[in-house]
Structure 1
Amino acid sequence: MRFVVLMAEADHFARWSALGEDEQGAVFEAFGAFEAAVVERGGSVVGGEGLAPVAEARTIRPGPDRVVTEGPYAESVEQLGGFFVVDLPDLATAVETARLLPASYLVEVRPASDG
Structure 2
Amino acid sequence: MKRYLVLIAYEPGDWEAAGPEERQIYIDGHQAFHDFVDEHGRRISGAALAGADTATTVRQSAVTDGPFAETAEMIGGYYDVELPDLDHAITAARLLPPSYAVEIRSVIDLDAAGERVG
Shorter-chain TM range is 0.7 to 0.9
Displacement of 1:37: 0.6
Gaps of 5+ in 2: 111-118
Q: Matched residues, percent identical? A: 41
**Match 1:45 to one of 43, 46, 71:** 43
Please give the alpha-carbon distance, in whole angstroms, between the structure 1 residues aligned to 2:4 and 2:67: 22
**Aligned positions of 1:1-115 closer than 5 A:** 1-9=2-10, 12-41=11-40, 43-62=41-60, 66-115=61-110
Please give the alpha-carbon distance, in whole angstroms, between the structure 1 residues aligned to 2:64 and 2:21: 37
The Cα offsets for residues 1-50 of structure 1, whole Å up to 9 and x where unpaired, read as: 110000112xx222221112332232011101001011222x01111111
TM value normalised by structure 2: 0.85
Gaps of 5+ in 1: none
Q: Structure 1 runs of 4+ off > 4 angstroms?
A: none
The SS at the match of 1:13 is: coil
* Counterpart residue type for residue 37 of structure 1: F
The Cα offsets for residues 42-81 of structure 1, whole Å up to 9 and x where unpaired, read as: x01111111111101110112xxx2211123523211111
User: How many residue pairs are counted as aligned between the two chains?
Assistant: 109
TM value normalised by structure 1: 0.87
